[in-house]
Structure 1
Amino acid sequence: MRADRLLQMLLLLQNRGRMTAPELAAELEVSVRTVYRDAEALIASGVPLTAERGPEGGYRLMEGYRTRLTGLTGEEADSLWLAGMPGAAAELGLGAELATAQLKLRAALPAQLAERTRRVSERFHLDAPAWFRDADPVPHLARVAEAVWEQRTLRVHYRRWKGEVRRELHPLGLVLKGGIWYLVARSVHGPDGDGGGPRPREDLRTYRVSRILALEVPGERFERPAGFDLAAHWAEVAGRLEAGRLRDEALLRLSPRGLRLLPMLFGAVGARAVREARETDGPDGDGWVRALLPVESTPVAVGDLLRLGAEAEVLGPAGLRAAFAREVEALARRYGRGTGESA
């Protein structure tokens, strides 16, 4: 809306001082011609705005002028918890509200504190998504967020690893983890192709928002469970997932380079294995070190450990070593045939 844009332009000039028309156009995501028209509208409404020509010119407010229009709307206040994650705010449909809320807050601060906030924003930046991975497309995120906020029932068509299902959900909260959005919801459903007859039940589950293929918001409201704490629930779920994922341990013999690669390839688990290896056993005659690394099931562990290449030897357990040996032998046969041979 134009009124919102005029207020945002006014707050930009109040916070930053002189700004050129192209700078304002870039901030407001409009054309330079629109900036000219908006500036004329502000002047006509009595705002002491001056235009200076020339290479050092631009728009600025009269010295000492400060607008008192710094009250936050409900949507702007809602967006403030995403102040360090503008990308997440945009995905939720709150990008414009967040930008305006930040401008209003800065305009309401004393000059010294406003300058501190500007310096912080220039020097620190949060980039939540992981490296080398495209963000999940989340076309339904804004509607899911609206249903969470308004306590509206959702009917979703959802893609699981073993097929597609339909669910009726009571959405309780959204979590952004590693650049991926998850919905925590209470599922109320009967037969859905899982097998078996009607068996309505109600339980808390986690859904990856990008796997929602379609959704309906029928309009029915639901009651949130008394005392439900989203952060505590997520910490419990994440803890169970991590504990259940790494069920076994691999005994490895690592070269000096393999020891350096372990934290790079396996994160905190690899770093902990390196620390423990250095505290317990010294290097052998070849400079290699033994380390215990928590791993997933044998098939997954084989694929993960192959990334270490010739810088590691799997010593145990026996089943993992045998599975690793079979994989290495298959690779040797594959590459030993020479180029151009089919399987």
Structure 2
Amino acid sequence: MRASRLLSLLLLLQNRGRMSAAQLAAELGVTARTVYRDIEALAEAGVPVYAEHGPSGGYQLMDGYRTRLTGLTADEAESLFLTGMPQPAAELGLAAQVAAAELKLTAALPTPYRDASMRIRQRFHLDAPGWYREPDEVPHLLAVAEALWQDQVIEIRYRRWAPEPGEVTRRLQPLGLVLKGGVWYLIARRNDRPRTYRVSSIISLEALPERFTRPDGFELAEFWREHVERYERAETEEVAVVRLSPKGVDDLPDILGPRAARLAQRTLTPPDPDGWRRATIPLENVPHAASTLLRLGADAQVIAPPELIAHLTDTIKALTRLYPG
């Protein structure tokens, strides 16, 4: 463990130049006292590291010194696809591997490319989740990822809401994980057909001793693209049928967003005698659907599915108790 930390410290100084003990401690997740001991160990090993004192001081390497100890471990190499995505890497238990891989890659680059990579990092940042949204709790994500990596069959207990709400047990062959809008989805084969499962809806998971062979020709990115297109065309069982007032129709872009509103507007029926119209809206789950449609207030009436109506009824009753009279 200490050898790995010493190498990381050395690569930090090589890549970033002068750094204070506090900065190094923050990067390495240790105390400043540990950094002092590690600097002494590097110096005793012949690494030309020295300290400059003062407000802008810190540790740095002698000009021209570069280490070539930049080989990636297997775990670090496997984690490279998550560089630039620290939160997903942490959720998959790969934060340390990603950080080490980035350090080693940067150290191996020629100086002009290394400087360019640092400029990109300073200027661009990816933040996948939407505004005001807490990330899903995904306690089974690591177990899913491990089974996925090992081509191992899993059995899950899963909370679904369509076509019938409730808990179901499924025996699955994991084919891929997708992060969409801050939400993790498992793509898994069941009955010889790839299907999509929200990882946060997995209640329990058991990895079985059985292994499977991935289907020939399966491309995760292509499957996901087609899945998204089907969902956005409302070709999914998870939809809400909603009756909307004229104002509710006008408010759809603000509530659903422009793209989802256009999809819903394509399904609008002619106005009834009261001027209300029906629309079919693809929605992800009952709580999300309820919170979205409640924003339309009295300008929307849910017709289906029954479980969404029940959820809205309970919510409205609870609100009535909070605001009586």
Q: Tell me the CA shift for residue 52 of structure 1.
A: 2.4
Q: Which amino acid is 1:16 matched to?
A: R
- SS of 1:296's equivalent? strand
- Name 2:69's counterpart in structure 1: 69
Q: Tell me the CA shift for residue 163 of structure 1.
A: 2.5
Mapped to 2, the partners of 1:47 and 1:303 lie a distance apart of 59
Mapped to 2, the partners of 1:67 and 1:54 lie a distance apart of 27
The superposition leaves residues 165-188 of structure 1 with CA deviations (integer Å, 9 ceiling, x where unpaired) of 33222111001111111111113x
- Provide the alpha-carbon RMSD of the alignment: 3.6
- Name 2:208's counterpart in structure 1: 218
- SS of 1:159's equivalent? strand
TM-score (norm 1): 0.73
Report if the CA contact (8 A) 2:244-2:279 is conserved.
Answer: no
- Name 2:309's counterpart in structure 1: none
Q: Tell me the CA shift for residue 8 of structure 1.
A: 1.0
- Name 1:108's counterpart in structure 2: 108
- Name 1:94's counterpart in structure 2: 94
Mapped to 1, the partners of 2:280 and 2:188 lie a distance apart of 30
- The 5-angstrom pairing of residues 5-44 of structure 1 reads 5-44=5-44
Q: Which amino acid is 2:228 matched to?
A: A
TM-score (norm 2): 0.77
Q: Which amino acid is 1:211 matched to?
A: S
- The 5-angstrom pairing of residues 36-55 of structure 1 reads 36-55=36-55
- Name 1:163's counterpart in structure 2: 166
- Name 2:258's counterpart in structure 1: 268
Alpha-carbon distance change, 153 to 56 in structure 1, aligned in 2, over 3 angstroms: same
- SS of 2:211's equivalent? coil
- The 5-angstrom pairing of residues 181-260 of structure 1 reads 181-187=184-190, 201-242=191-232, 243-244=234-235, 253=246
Q: How many aligned residue pairs are there?
A: 292
Report if the CA contact (8 A) 2:184-2:200 is conserved.
Answer: yes
Report if the CA contact (8 A) 1:269-1:293 is conserved.
Answer: no
- Name 1:138's counterpart in structure 2: 138
**Which 5+ residue runs of structure 2 have no aligned equivalent?**
267-276, 305-311
Report if the CA contact (8 A) 1:129-1:178 is conserved.
Answer: yes
Q: Tell me the CA shift for residue 57 of structure 1.
A: 2.1
Report if the CA contact (8 A) 1:250-1:295 is conserved.
Answer: no
The superposition leaves residues 237-271 of structure 1 with CA deviations (integer Å, 9 ceiling, x where unpaired) of 2222223267989897569xx96x65432213367
Report if the CA contact (8 A) 1:141-1:209 is conserved.
Answer: yes
**Which 5+ residue runs of structure 1 have no aligned equivalent?**
188-200, 277-291, 321-326
Alpha-carbon distance change, 228 to 53 in structure 1, aligned in 2, over 3 angstroms: same
